[in-house]
Amino acid sequence: MKLKIGVLGIQGDFAMHQKSLRKLGVNAPNIRYNEELALCDGLVIPGGESTTFVKLLKKTGMFDALIEFNENKPIMGTCAGLIALSTSLINHNMETLGLIDISVERNGYGRQVDSFIDDVRVDGIETLVEGFFIRAPRIRSLGEGTKAIGFHNDEVVMAGNERILAMTFHPELTNDTTVHRFFIDKYVRK
Ligand code: GLN
């Protein structure tokens, strides 16, 4: 049967993630409700505005459903998605899902004008990946059990644990589907 990897569709740039996943031949439904989540083999939390994400997740009851889902299913988070998944924010007071032990600085590179595109090196991917950093957060520290997986220069920009893959950049904004394939191979199908 075809894999089903949902993309959280309550806010942010979910459509581009769906496009990347569909290119890889998987079902990529838009997920807005708990019942839809339960049918997925994995989930992507896209970029957007993390404060809005958390607010909406709380309101719809999906906040707790995501934590439960992650007990046996993998989640990939990009940019605001990484913020929502993290255990702590160093410059913002907001509840987060706490599913990956990292501490994060929101808008760590500055404002919108400080957004940039640059190469990212990922352990386990042979080619360099084009990273779009858009008002991106910065990972300031990794807890025990969290692995550094991707690097921009020498800075960690992608981290993971058993069932979470989180990155500060947007991999869905290029035609290259390598990062989505990496998530499918290493986390969903493994
Ligand atoms: N700056 C946003 C936040 O802090 C994240 C931006 C993004 O997802 N591209 O939530």
Q: Output phi, psi for 11, to 5 deg.
A: -170, 160
CA distance 179 to 177: 6
pLDDT digits (tens, 9 = 90+) for 98-142: 999 999 999 999 877 789 999 999 999 999 999 999 999 999 999
CA distance 125 to 160: 14
**Average pLDDT of span 162-190:** 96
Q: Ligand 1, closest atom to CA 134? A: 9
CATH numbers and ranges of domains, the chain = 5-188 (3.40.50.880)
C-beta 42 within 6 A of ligand 1: no
Amino acid (1-letter code) at residue 121: R
C-beta 107 within 6 A of ligand 1: yes
Amino acid (1-letter code) at residue 159: A
pLDDT value at position 13?
Answer: 85
Burial class (CB in 10 A: 0-12, 13-18, 19+), 24: middle
For residues 111 and 158, the model is more confident at: 158
Q: What spacing in Å lies between the alpha carbon of 179 and ligand 1's midpoint?
A: 19
* 176 pLDDT higher than 90: yes
pLDDT digits (tens, 9 = 90+) for 41-68: 999 999 999 999 999 999 999 999 999 9
> Best of 85, 105, 134 to mutate for ligand 1, by most ligand atoms within 8 A of CB?
134
Q: What spacing in Å lies between the alpha carbon of 87 and ligand 1's midpoint?
A: 16
Is the whole model's pTM more than 0.85, yes or no? yes
pLDDT digits (tens, 9 = 90+) for 9-47: 988 889 999 999 999 999 999 999 999 999 999 999 999
Residue bearing the CA closest to ligand 1, atom 1: 135
User: Hey, what are 95's tokens?
Assistant: 């509840």
Tell me the CA distances in angstroms from 159 to 53, 90, 100, 101, one per residue in order: 20, 17, 8, 9
Show which residues are catalytic: 79, 170, 172
Amino acid (1-letter code) at residue 131: G
pLDDT value at position 114?
Answer: 80
Residue reference for tokens 């998530």: 183
> Best of 106, 157, 169 to mutate for ligand 1, by most ligand atoms within 8 A of CB?
106
Q: What spacing in Å lies between the alpha carbon of 136 and ligand 1's midpoint?
A: 6
**Average pLDDT of span 81-99:** 96
User: Hey, what are 59's tokens?
Assistant: 């309101």
C-beta 47 within 6 A of ligand 1: yes
C-beta 82 within 6 A of ligand 1: no
C-beta 135 within 6 A of ligand 1: yes
CA distance 22 to 162: 24
C-beta 106 within 6 A of ligand 1: yes
Nearest to 180 by CA among 64, 44, 2: 44
CA distance 14 to 56: 15
User: Hey, what are 162's tokens?
Assistant: 């058993």
pLDDT value at position 113?
Answer: 72
CA distance 156 to 46: 19
pLDDT interval class at 190 (50, 70, 90): confident
